[in-house]
Amino acid sequence: MEGFEWLIEKNFIIESFERVKYNEPVAEFYEWLGALEDDQTIVNKADRIRLCMKFFDVDYYRMQSIKDIKRVNACHDLFCYNCQHNIALKRFGKYMPILEDLSKDFDLYHVVFTVPDSEACMLKSTIKQMYKKFVYINQYFNGSRKSSFVDFSQFGCVGIVRSLEVEFKVRKDKLWYHPHFHCVFVLKKGMNFRKVKYNCFSHSYKNERLRSFTRFEILLQNMWYMLYNDIPFTQRNFDEITRGYSCTADKCDSNEYHEVFKYAVGGLFKWKNRDLICRQVLDTLYHALYRRKIIQGYGILNRFKFDLSENDDEAIRSYYEYKKRLLAFEKPVKEVQTMSQVKRDINEGQIVYISRFKKTLKVK
Ligand SMILES: [Zn+2]
């Protein structure tokens, strides 16, 4: 079919509708918090998240049975699964060509930094300390902070992306939060760290297989523990400490870093945690993350301007050419559609939905 590249698949819309179903508890939370703090801007968030994906502005080409989505009412809220999902896709689309390019000259590592699980009352201070101390990690790796006993220049780090994720789980009738950073480190090519050591974290990995760690991972584990606990990063302290925090650094093969990156910058929390979302969780996260940047690029990955690339320009041109052909038949009618109208169209299957935004959400 001509214009197929602009077609919005049925599942894409259906899945979006499924995701926004989980927004009602968030809306109720904003109403509650807005009343509690007597703050109308918070109450307004409730209205916005309730209306997410509920209205579509379309150009309707009746004779050709095509509806071109011009705008979707999206809330962009931190707790909206749908908006966060779409933002993650967009982010992925912007970073991926850059990582692909970098992978020719560098190796990419998926690095995870964790700290012990935190109770609700401690989450804000835990995250504050993680953010504060990650700055040091970046400084050691970029050379602006020197260590007396580790030569960080050996890793040839040129860039990092750091993304916060907070998982939560019920343990012994209590809710525990597990904040951690997923990162992509862009390091010198060909270091091939060998796995050499087992330690207390070796047992806790998938498939219950014992995992050994590389010297690089052990360095990160001990260093992260020291930084987080305000222990000076000296050789003596390093040699004396008997523990670290669980950190892993896995080299991404060329065929897997798409997946790794998608996972690493997927956003604040995972879909599997959705059923635990309640007022208590939202209240904790809202205050713990207030004005925090969830994703941050450093070094070479901070300097890129993630604007539309030439390819995107090309894609947009092709959209306008396609649209010109639609217009040769008829002038569209401008309509505002509700979610239920869109659902009806999809079920009946007579009308085709297209959008020029399709390309910006496209994932390999
Ligand atoms: Zn939304």
pLDDT at 211 (0 to 100): 72
| pLDDT tens sequence across 332-341 | 999 999 999 9
Q: Cα(25) to centroid of ligand 1, in Å?
A: 13
Q: Cα(16) to centroid of ligand 1, in Å?
A: 9
Q: Cα(361) to centroid of ligand 1, in Å?
A: 15
Instruction: Break the chain down into helix, strand, coil percent, rounded to 5.
Output: 50, 20, 30
The sheet with strand 159-171 has its strands ordered as 247-251, 106-114, 174-188, 159-171, 295-299
Q: Cα(275) to centroid of ligand 1, in Å?
A: 17
| pLDDT tens sequence across 308-360 | 344 566 777 888 888 999 999 999 999 999 999 999 998 898 999 998 877 65
Cβ(73)–Cβ(50) under 8 Å?
no
Q: Cα(54) to centroid of ligand 1, in Å?
A: 10
Q: Residue 216 carries which side chain, given as an amino acid letter?
A: F
Q: Cα(155) to centroid of ligand 1, in Å?
A: 40
Average predicted confidence (pLDDT) for the chain: 86
Q: Is 192 left (phi over 0), alpha (psi -120 to 50) or beta?
A: left
| pLDDT tens sequence across 160-170 | 989 899 988 88
Q: Cα(83) to centroid of ligand 1, in Å?
A: 4
Q: Cα(183) to centroid of ligand 1, in Å?
A: 25
Q: Cα(269) to centroid of ligand 1, in Å?
A: 15
| pTM for the structure as a whole | 0.85
In percent, the amount of the chain with pLDDT more than 70 equals 87
| pLDDT tens sequence across 216-228 | 999 999 999 999 9
Q: Cα(344) to centroid of ligand 1, in Å?
A: 21
Q: Residue 187 carries which side chain, given as an amino acid letter?
A: L
Q: Cα(343) to centroid of ligand 1, in Å?
A: 18
